[in-house]
Structure 1
Amino acid sequence: MKPLEPGDARQAGRYRLVAALGEGGMGRVLLGVAPDGRLVAVKQVHAEFAHDARFRGRFRQEVQASQRVSGAFTAAVMDADPDAATPWLASVFVTGPSLKEAVEATGPLPVDAVRRLAVGLATALTEIHRVGLIHRDLKPGNVLLTGDGPRVIDFGIARATEGGADLTGTGGLVGSPAFMSPEQAESRPLTPASDVFSLGGVLVMAATGRGPFTGATTAQVLYNVVHAVPDLTGVPPELRTLVEPCLAKDPARRPSPQRILDFLGPVAPATRPWPEAVHRLIEVQDTAVRTALSWPAPEPVPAPPRRRRWFPVVTALASVAALAVGSLGAVLVATADADPPTAGANLDPTSLETLRRTDPCRVLDQVTVRDVGKLGAVPDSGYLDRCDYRTKSGEKISVKLGDQIYVEGGRPTEDLDGRPVLFTEISGSTCDASVQVPAQPELGVTALAETCTLAKTTLAKVLERVRGGAGYDLPPGTLLAADPCAVLDRTAVAAALGPVREVKPSRLRECEWTAATSLRLTFDKGYSTVPDDGSPVDLGGVTGTRHPVGDSCALSWNHRRIDATRTEHVRIFASKTGGGACDAAVAFGTALAKALPRA
């Protein structure tokens, strides 16, 4: 664990970044802190992937699927922004070394510990496969040994890097050669059985300190994976009967994760499931985390002077933002071309009520913006309060309504109609311009473009158009105009969560309550064709899907169909130390379902 460097970002969405945990082939992992104090592991994708549009599409799909995984032996994905200049995802942070680190530091695990590991990994794969994912990179480095059992990380994300040598750097080969399946090594279609082969290799490594396939070169390792008999020297007999069928070359001959669980049977409960040397590593990490949380933030690196008009840099980081990729530019005072507002409209463009009723894909669609011409909305961005646009030359411009903005130091020196403008240049390649929402200053109206000049020009046009009226059509039963913080009164919320200490909108269509149980409610756009998973629960005439995740619980349901593929979606995420999060989420969801407008 290392301190952040002065030039490093301090925020990823809603999460404050405090330390660097490590770096891998796909990205960098950092320790983050959520607004409610929970720790998260934030993975920021390397720039080589971030600049590829195909990667972003796959990353978005895989993240959405990964968020449905809720097994006890996985580190659940809590949040993500695949559209940020540096795409990221945040998962539950758990303290513990990876299996690779533990074996290298303390030696192979004893039989009982390997058996417990196998039960945990098979349970995790059952959950991952249940939602239609294949891990594709199950290896010792992606298995954490925590104080109450193993955790599988990075499930489903490896697939996002598929698509060719330009993305993977290995001719399209995704995964770790020593632990991939023969069909993966030969780039053949994969099934969940591929993960079972990897599971067998991981268990051999845990029991012996080395994988079943070794070689002097990567090519030799891959050849051995496809053709050679696995080296099981040193694997105890009681484990050999398990790993041998997992390492069958024919996927059809491998057992399913459920068959593995049936074979192993239950494991005895244990407060310290690993050898004492491993638990000492966990304690060392606990101490390191506490130390990192006490580190002061380094001073930000001052920005270099600009060629044209210099202004003090305002360092801002936007939460769950759709960020474009482009080039630097100087910030100049700019005005928008005149498009007449809707007759009779004179709305406050920074009012939460106005923004909730505004369709971000109507604000600038077929509207002319100075210097780039007429914009066209990108169909179905997947969000209710943001939209991407393209210019005739293919440049990308994004609009966000009521999303989080994070300001660190400095003061803006420019304004629009008396409103201060906050500028942020992301990764030296894009710029966003934001004005704050007076009722909730951490939220803002934002335009993102290739230069700060264009971002401000676009923002001026956005404010003008919102003031003139660019509203959603509001069909009966819609949640579009609903204030998530006001659907339930304080008494009803307290009945579900306990005495409420704080309530605040964290985004335009999202609200958070802090009580005995902390809870976040989100109205968003979901897929109507995604099959239900998790445990169904009756919410008084509405069927929700419940996903317990340690001390947290996710509950969701589709509210109103938008079209053939999308719905207005309700998501609840509750957290309560010591258990009971799902009971609180269901109680809140039951009251909410009765209070929502009928679709």
Structure 2
Amino acid sequence: MQPLPPGEPRQFGRYRLIASLGEGGMGRVLLGVSREGRLVAVKQVHPAFAHDPGFRSRFKREVETSRMVSGAYTAAVMDADPEAPLPWLASVFVAGPSLKEAVDAAGPLPLSAVHYLATGLASALAEIHRVGLIHRDLKPSNVLLATDGPRVIDFGIARAAEGDTDITHTGSIIGSPGFMSPEQANGLPLTPASDVFSFGALVTMAATGRAPFAGASTPQTLYNVVHSAPDLTTLHPDLRRLVEPCLAKDPKARPNTAQILDFLGSVQLTATPWPPAVYSMIERQQAEVRAALALPVPKQPRKRPKWLIPTAAAAMAVVLAAVTTTVILANRDADPVVAAAPSTSAPPPDPLSAAALRRVDPCKLLGPDSLPKSGKLLAAGDPDSQYDRCGYFFDRSAELSDRSLLSLELGVRMSGKKGQPTKVGALDAIQNQESDDCSLAVSNPATPDYGIEVSARRTAQTSCGIAKEAMDVVLKKLRDNPEPYPNVEKTLRQADLCAPELKKPLQDATAQTLRSEVQGLHECNWQGRTTYLLKTWHVKSLDNAETKIGNAYLSVRQEGDSCVVAWTFPQQELGWWDRLDVYGGTSTTPSGTKNCDSSRRVLEAVVNTVKPRG
């Protein structure tokens, strides 16, 4: 996944483009986001095809048919524009490596994973053939391995690039030589049996790491496809009984997808059907997607529609009325992709202040090439669901383990830190080394009780050097005023839970005199007769007991004389939810029920004061 270069279009139809996913024989593939917040893979065809009127008509016809394909093992086509200067189509984005990438990185799949793969592929082909399509280019790079099964992509689209035969006027081949059928290699009319042949070749490659007709050159491979027997010597006997009839030279001798599924039978599904390396690749891609989504949106000139000009005053009145309306746990069904209105307050002048740090995404402070002395980094995300923490792995295939980890925390408590006093620039710091672990915590003058900590785990000889290099980069990036977290106003990240303006609403809600005590960048204790701990963070799933209120969810959990009330709503980061917890306890009243009532009133007071725009 690569960032889009300057000057590239950032919009196709309804889709905002955020990164490049790669390039193939038909064109480029780009990562986009729909207006509804759904990730899509946008395929933009090569200019050479766009100048062919015949291609446009075939492209339109094939896309219309492709949109009829549904099912669990395909990436559905969502939209297309055959009339655009460069025609494009958008399909559901699937996070996961291609089969080719997985086998190249981790070797052949184990037998159980091949059975899982084959069942999904056969099911996908059955659905594709049901609507009258033939895939024509089923190959390892057109099969993605997602957490919940394989996905077949680009079905039917290769047909748009063909004329009357499968060989173009330049002699190039539409298809992949090692996985096309003999009739396709010979330029003969195709039937669904052609895809079955490709299925057999693909399953063989997944199980052995090698295509069954691979030759030293493309002409040799094509000759093998048409004339030679497949190399199945290393294939498991059960798989050989499946694959051999699929690779018959005569299309009529091959089984159909229904017969293949009958042969495969039911799948004995486990929690992790793919090898561990595949899940690591999925997690890495998800981290790259989060990084791409976090990039600032380039400013685009916007034209005001003429019909808006005479009604500007009326529109402003509506906006002001909406802004001044008080909402208590209101319906927040706003489009998650549309950026929030810019904050009216200027960013704090001190880049190391708590207010500034709360707006920063710690996973963006270190990039892949930030530590040239230590090695290339991969952001591993936030394992603890805290806004101010991020973990990184060093991208060295022999060292991708917990022994090569770098973690960053922007709000670590400095009191009680043990280690050797030192300096990082002009800032006081504490360095602590235990075995192969080394941590470096810098005291932040803007928030003396809290600091910034980098922890490295490699070897006793190198871990402190890594921590020092990383800390220097982090502090420089913070002082350079990094871009805020995208749409930060629509999240809970920037909320100051000890803010003075919260005191009166909280005292009114609890009928108590309260005083605040900072617990961290995203935590605060409000103490009176009852203590209320406020905490903001993000989670990947909802509690079973949560009740939907508009676009948000509310849960209440009583634990003896204590009570936890939580408010959760969709976050701007894919796969995460923003969450505000109120822990009410240590009360002089004996009733936990009363604590739940007051905790809920505290929650409502915080929500209405903080007013996240999610």
Structure 1 length-normalised TM: 0.51
Aligned to 1:215, what secondary structure does the other structure show? coil
Separation in structure 2 between the aligned mates of residue 182 and residue 166 of structure 1, nearest angstrom: 12
Change (3 A) 1:286 1:170: farther
Amino acid at match of 1:95: A
Change (3 A) 1:169 1:296: farther
Amino acid at match of 1:55: F
Q: Is the 8 A contact 2:80 2:88 kept in 1?
A: yes
Name the counterpart of 2:155.
155
- Pairing 1:311-350 to 2, within 5 Å after superposition: none
Name the counterpart of 2:82.
82
Q: Structure with the greater relative contact order (CA < 8 A, sep ≥ 6): 1 or 2? A: 1
Larger Rg over CA atoms: 2
Runs of at least 4 residues of structure 1 off by over 3 A? 164-170, 435-441, 498-503
Shift of 1:167: 9.2
Shift of 1:233: 2.3
Name the counterpart of 1:178.
178
Q: Is the 8 A contact 1:161 1:167 kept in 2?
A: no
Separation in structure 2 between the aligned mates of residue 26 and residue 439 of structure 1, nearest angstrom: 44
Name the counterpart of 1:191.
191
Amino acid at match of 2:144: L
Q: For structure 1, which segment, 268-277 or 66-75, has the greater mean C-alpha deviation from structure 2 after superposition? A: 268-277
Change (3 A) 1:19 1:440: farther
Structure 2 length-normalised TM: 0.50
Shift of 1:288: 0.7
Amino acid at match of 2:138: L
- Pairing 1:218-229 to 2, within 5 Å after superposition: 218-229=218-229
* Aligned with residue 409 of structure 1, among 281, 286, 301: 301
Name the counterpart of 1:291.
291
Aligned to 2:267, what secondary structure does the other structure show? coil
Aligned to 1:89, what secondary structure does the other structure show? strand
Separation in structure 1 between the aligned mates of residue 75 and residue 276 of structure 2, nearest angstrom: 23
Q: Is the 8 A contact 2:166 2:174 kept in 1?
A: no
Aligned to 1:409, what secondary structure does the other structure show? coil
Aligned to 2:178, what secondary structure does the other structure show? helix
Name the counterpart of 1:108.
108
Amino acid at match of 2:301: G
Aligned to 1:2, what secondary structure does the other structure show? coil
Separation in structure 1 between the aligned mates of residue 310 and residue 244 of structure 2, nearest angstrom: 59
Structure 1 unmatched ranges of 5 or more: 300-407, 412-419, 421-434, 442-497, 507-576, 578-599
Amino acid at match of 1:409: P
Q: Is the 8 A contact 1:173 1:187 kept in 2?
A: no
Name the counterpart of 2:237.
237
**1:54 has 2:54 as partner:** yes
Q: Is the 8 A contact 2:167 2:187 kept in 1?
A: no
Shift of 1:127: 0.2
Amino acid at match of 2:252: A
Change (3 A) 1:153 1:436: farther
Aligned to 1:178, what secondary structure does the other structure show? coil
Q: For structure 1, which segment, 157-166 or 218-227, has the greater mean C-alpha deviation from structure 2 after superposition? A: 157-166
Q: Is the 8 A contact 1:22 1:29 kept in 2?
A: yes
Give the paired residue count.
321
Name the counterpart of 2:26.
26
Separation in structure 2 between the aligned mates of residue 145 and residue 440 of structure 1, nearest angstrom: 53
Identity of aligned residues (%): 65
Shift of 1:58: 0.3
Amino acid at match of 1:222: L
Separation in structure 2 between the aligned mates of residue 214 and residue 440 of structure 1, nearest angstrom: 69
Q: Is the 8 A contact 1:6 1:298 kept in 2?
A: no
Separation in structure 2 between the aligned mates of residue 150 and residue 499 of structure 1, nearest angstrom: 36
Separation in structure 1 between the aligned mates of residue 191 and residue 47 of structure 2, nearest angstrom: 30
Q: Is the 8 A contact 1:4 1:298 kept in 2?
A: no
Cα deviation, 1:488-510, whole Å, max 9, x if unaligned, reads: xxxxxxxxxx979469xx9xxxx
Amino acid at match of 2:124: A
Name the counterpart of 2:9.
9
Amino acid at match of 1:219: P
Name the counterpart of 2:212.
212
Name the counterpart of 1:269.
269
Name the counterpart of 2:250.
250
Shift of 1:169: 6.9
Q: Is the 8 A contact 2:166 2:187 kept in 1?
A: no
Aligned to 2:272, what secondary structure does the other structure show? coil
Aligned to 1:249, what secondary structure does the other structure show? coil
Name the counterpart of 1:470.
none
Separation in structure 1 between the aligned mates of residue 166 and residue 70 of structure 2, nearest angstrom: 32
Q: Is the 8 A contact 1:148 1:272 kept in 2?
A: no
Name the counterpart of 1:554.
none
Shift of 1:7: 1.6
Separation in structure 1 between the aligned mates of residue 295 and residue 191 of structure 2, nearest angstrom: 45
Change (3 A) 1:436 1:243: farther
Separation in structure 1 between the aligned mates of residue 334 and residue 290 of structure 2, nearest angstrom: 26
Separation in structure 2 between the aligned mates of residue 80 and residue 110 of structure 1, nearest angstrom: 38
Shift of 1:173: 3.0
Separation in structure 2 between the aligned mates of residue 101 and residue 440 of structure 1, nearest angstrom: 56
Separation in structure 1 between the aligned mates of residue 276 and residue 334 of structure 2, nearest angstrom: 42
Shift of 1:166: 12
Amino acid at match of 2:9: A
Change (3 A) 1:287 1:500: closer
Aligned to 1:188, what secondary structure does the other structure show? coil
Structure 2 unmatched ranges of 5 or more: 312-329, 339-574, 576-614
Separation in structure 1 between the aligned mates of residue 309 and residue 50 of structure 2, nearest angstrom: 34
Shift of 1:137: 0.1
Cα deviation, 1:533-585, whole Å, max 9, x if unaligned, reads: xxxxxxxxxxxxxxxxxxxxxxxxxxxxxxxxxxxxxxxxxxxx9xxxxxxxx
Shift of 1:214: 1.5
